[in-house]
Amino acid sequence: MNKSEIRKRILKIRKQNSYKGLEINYKDLLKIFKKEKILGKIVGGYYPYNFEVDDIKILEKLEKQKYKISLPKIRKNFQMDFFSWSPKDPLIINDLGIPEPITEKIEYPDILLVPMVAFDEKLNRLGYGGGFYDRYISKLREKKKIILIGLAFSFQKVKKILTNKYDMKINYILTEKNLFK
């Protein structure tokens, strides 16, 4: 299956079923942080959209443990940046219908929680096709080391995702059932 077919199939499944009860294991996430020696760093999350894994509870717990939290804002030309955010802060809705922080304080995450449409065992990620995350990750890697943790439901795993030179591999993928590394 090509990327477009995979995207269409997985998004249909995700939309038709309610996965609100399924949660990512927070303890598995902390194991990654410990293994990577991540302490007191900046975490880039996302506001769940289109039936994505909800990471807001995770971000709330991380903030209580003194991590700085940031969320993305979409920019022109398929670009995005991450901005300081707290679960207590208000959000505004962008042109795509996705909530974004109001602040203009740019943060450069050390850990990025990455949403996805699909993934494979080789830690390849399939997004919505705009390339926002691939561009951002490429740009951020020029500035610093970053750990990429994909969040997905187990049914989003596919046999193989065809990649190109612009596709960024993920370090870990965490589902409600497994941790892929």
pLDDT tens profile 80-90: 999 999 999 99
Burial class (CB in 10 A: 0-12, 13-18, 19+), 131: middle
Beta bridge partners of 111: 43, 147
In this prediction the pTM is 0.90
**What are the chain's domains?**
3-175 (3.40.50.10420)
Q: Where are the beta strands (DSSP E) in 11-163?
A: 42-44, 68-74, 80-84, 91-93, 99-101, 106-107, 111-115, 118-119, 125-126, 147-151
Mean pLDDT calculated for residue range 28-44? 85
What single DSSP character describes residue 157?
A: B
The predicted-structure confidence for 106-158, as pLDDT tens digits, reads as follows 999 999 999 999 999 999 999 888 889 999 999 999 989 899 999 999 999 99
